[in-house]
Amino acid sequence: MRPIGAAVNALLTAALLAGTAGASAIPLDSDVHIRALPNAPNGYTPANVPCPANRPTARSAATVSPDEARWLEKRRKKAMSALAGFFGHVFIPDFDAVAYIGKYAENLAQLPNIGIAVSGGGYRALMNGAGAIKAFDSRTAGSTSKGHLGGLLQSATYLSGLSGGGWLVGSLYLNNETSVDALTSGMEGKAWDFHRSIFQGPKFTSSTFLDILRYYAQLQSAVAGKQDAGYKVSITDYWGRALSYQFINAKEGGPSYTWSSISLSSDFQNAEYPMPIILADGRNPGEKLILGNATVFEFNPWEFGTFDPTIFGFVPLEYLGSKFQAGVLPSSESCVRGFDNAGYIMGTSSSLFNEFALRLDEVDIPKFIKDELRKILKALGDENNDIADYSPNPFYQYATGTSPFAGVLSLPLVDGGEDGQNIPLHPLIQPARNVDVIFAIDSSANTKNNWPNGSSLVATYQRSLDPSGIANGTSFPAVPDVNTFVNLGLNTRPTFFGCDSSNTTKPTPLVVYIPNYPYTTFSNISTFTLATPNETRDAIIKNGYDVATMGGGTGEKEWPTCVGCAILSRSFERTGTAIPAACQECFKKHCWDGTVNSATPADYAPSVGPPSAGAKSAASARIRASPMI
């Protein structure tokens, strides 16, 4: 057995030898209401299944998939109907936005196409991002009243996440497109009960020791089944299984839940909500560092792959684990299902186990378990096992002229933010998706005190200019350097980038940047916080709501109007509609105007309370590049 598996077995053996005669009395799981589609054929273990008449193949990324295209026909209509409802409580003075949407209802390409991107950052990102999603969700009580933004979620086409933001996206969709309110109103031991750490696991009985023993036994049993079936496993298998207990309301964390099963839920098939996308980075064979030109992979409900020129292809997600070769599945090979376990995909996008495990001393678990977990860490280091091992590689011998992965049997994937692009903008700036405006929720910990400083936007902008051509036709609006973000207070309040599309040579979305800020409470907990009381969880979510709405009408009263203007901006250009005077004022106030101040800022340590309109660090001279960027 591989060292990592041996270490986990040793952990369980040590637990049994620690003296629990009552272990045999551990009760079975009580029934839990199943809220999604646990459709894997053999639990966590991938299994051979009959192939469909049209055997799965890889396809070029020149367009969106046929499945996505068919879904978009439904979604765009429903999203624009929801947008009309949104403008029923978000008003632009002297402009009838509802009538405008109705005017172009038969020509949807003229109307806005909205994306929402939720950054990484562990539980901080999940909770702050949840606050924004709660603010955007018309199901939230009070969200459709004056000063609020309810209905924006229902108006969006895409919702992307990575790492902690991916946990948020996964939680919502794997529990039947549920709401943030529903996830935070559950009982102890249900999804989003974070007061017990991921190393402690859920509460099954009145015995903490027996609970921990049972939890680790379930993790090991699931992963061992996959390994015994001949598949490579890594620490991400254990990590993903553990995450599932916190994010999926199902028995044993839903080992049969797959990411592709999202496409089978009735609400998703009816295009009731945006399309969820989770990101991961490829780690080139033989390399340790993830650079800005790393290949970015996406998992959507139908497919896995990338728009990057290294591979520029997708395979059916449902059949990951099948032995594709040169883009086809040879007739001698079986189809495999169940590899795309939902927890494994969420774990792939958040390869944080190393950092979490370094904080074992903070966890209230028996010492012998901590000792065995440290042995697992050593095995991890010895085996270079800190990646998600997608073996067999679905892109083996595919794109042989450009892909660094074409000659390897395993595709190594890591945390989607390791390339510096901690906001999952990549899938939303693809020309094939024609997104007009992106609401970018940034919960990154770029500063010493765990606040964002715009680094993620800078990374995506720099990648769009990379001379290697990795951008592959994508375009991104200009943004300033990170010092300017802090010096000008752009990381304290929402800012628009890309307001003047004439500054770019290709279609470019307008980006509404919404950084984490202590509006009502300090929401800058560490990325590696192991446990969060529900009171703190709820306070951070409320803060995220207030950040997204700028106080829900108690702060900047014109903010909802400005959000509406940002949504309609590119549509105004396409239809030749004059920009309303109120929108012109919004753009003057919220668009980055090209000013830069690259002086080294003082330590960024905001106080609790709404940011001032001109909040800036101590600054030196400013340079204005152009009237509006």
Task: Considering only residues 378 and 88, tell me which one the structure prediction assigns the higher pLDDT.
Answer: 88
Is residue 106 classed exposed, middle or buried when 0-12, 13-18 and 19+ CB atoms within 10 A define those classes? exposed
Note the pLDDT tens digit of each residue in 472-519. Answer: 999 999 999 999 999 999 999 999 999 999 888 899 999 999 999 999
Of 87, 122, 117, 119, nearest to 102 by C-alpha is: 87
Of 56-65, 299-308, 425-434, 620-629, the poorest mean pLDDT is in: 620-629
Residue 621 has pLDDT above 50, yes or no: no
Task: Report DSSP state, residue 490.
Answer: T
Is the Cβ–Cβ distance between 227 and 47 less than 8 Å?
no
Residue 28 has pLDDT above 70, yes or no: no
Residue 346 included in any domain: yes
Helix (H, G, I), strand (E, B) or coil at 588: helix
* DSSP letters spanning 299-352: E-SSEEEE-STTT-EEEEGGGTTS--BTTB--TTS-EEES-SBHHHHHHHTT--
Task: Report DSSP state, residue 47.
Answer: E
The position carrying tokens 């990101």 is: 279
Note the pLDDT tens digit of each residue in 154-194. Answer: 999 999 999 999 999 999 999 999 999 999 997 656 899 99
**pLDDT grade for 624, boundaries at 50, 70 and 90:** very low
Three-state SS across 604-624? CCCCCCCCCCCCCCCCCCCEE
Three-state SS across 79-123? HHHHHHHHCCCCCECCECHHHHHHHCCCCHHHCCCEEEEECCCHH
Q: Which helix (H) or strand (E) holds 537?
A: helix 534-549
Residue 3 has pLDDT above 80, yes or no: no
Q: Rounded to whole angstroms, how far apart are CA atoms 441 and 538?
A: 18
* DSSP letters spanning 351-409: --HHHHHTTGGGS-S-HHHHHHHHHHHHHHHHHT--SEEE-S-TTTTSSTTT-TTTT-S
Q: What is the pLDDT at residue 238? A: 92
Strands 158-161 and 275-282: parallel
Q: Rounded to whole angstroms, how far apart are CA atoms 356 and 370?
A: 12
Of 241-250, 346-355, 556-565, the poorest mean pLDDT is in: 346-355
Q: Rounded to whole angstroms, how far apart are CA atoms 467 and 474?
A: 13
Give 336's contacts (C-beta < 8 A, 6+ positions apart): 46, 47, 48, 49, 319, 320, 321, 322, 323
Residue 19 included in any domain: no
Q: Tell me the average pLDDT across 147-157.
A: 99
Residue 320 included in any domain: yes
Residue 487 included in any domain: yes
Residue 323 included in any domain: yes
Q: What is the pLDDT at residue 347? A: 96
Residue 213 included in any domain: yes
pLDDT > 90: percent of the chain: 77
**CA angle 593-598-599, nearest 5°?**
135
Containing domain of residue 514, as a range? 59-624
Q: Tell me the average pLDDT across 281-308.
A: 92
Note the pLDDT tens digit of each residue in 84-118. Answer: 999 999 999 999 999 999 999 999 999 999 999 99
Give 320's contacts (C-beta < 8 A, 6+ positions apart): 304, 336, 339, 340, 390, 394
Q: Tell me the average pLDDT across 416-443.
A: 98
Q: Rounded to whole angstroms, how far apart are CA atoms 241 and 42?
A: 15
Number of domains in the chain: 1
Q: What is the pLDDT at residue 34? A: 41
Query: How many whole angstroms from its chain centre is CA 26?
Result: 36
**Please, which residues bridge with residue 390 across strands?**
411
Which phi and psi angles does 117 have, rounded to 5°?
Answer: -125, 130
**pLDDT grade for 370, boundaries at 50, 70 and 90:** confident
Could you tell me the pTM of the whole model? Answer: 0.93
Residue 32 has pLDDT above 90, yes or no: no
Residue 614 included in any domain: yes
Beta strand extents in 105-192 (DSSP E only): 114-118, 158-161
Q: What is the pLDDT at residue 112? A: 99
Q: Rounded to whole angstroms, how far apart are CA atoms 450 and 124?
A: 10
Q: Rounded to whole angstroms, how far apart are CA atoms 80 and 102?
A: 9
Q: Which amino acid is at 446?
A: N
Other C-beta atoms lying within 10 Å of the C-beta of residue 55:
15
Task: Considering only residues 469 and 16, tell me which one the structure prediction assigns the higher pLDDT.
Answer: 469
Q: Rounded to whole angstroms, how far apart are CA atoms 137 and 110?
A: 24
Q: Residue 443 is part of a domain; what is its CATH number? A: 3.40.1090.10
Of 48-62, 572-586, 611-625, the poorest mean pLDDT is in: 611-625
Residue-wise burial string across 462-491, b where 16 or more C-beta atoms lie within 10 A, e elsewhere? bbbeeeeebbbebbbbbbbebbbbbbbbbb
Q: What is the mean pLDDT of the chain?
A: 90
Q: Which amino acid is at 7?
A: A
Is the Cβ–Cβ distance between 615 and 607 less than 8 Å?
no
Of 54-68, 381-395, 581-595, the poorest mean pLDDT is in: 381-395
Residue 569 has pLDDT above 80, yes or no: yes
The first and second tokens of residue 95, run together, are 């402009």
Note the pLDDT tens digit of each residue in 183-232. Answer: 999 765 689 999 988 888 988 887 878 888 899 999 999 999 999 999 99
Other C-beta atoms lying within 10 Å of the C-beta of residue 358:
12
Residue 17 included in any domain: no
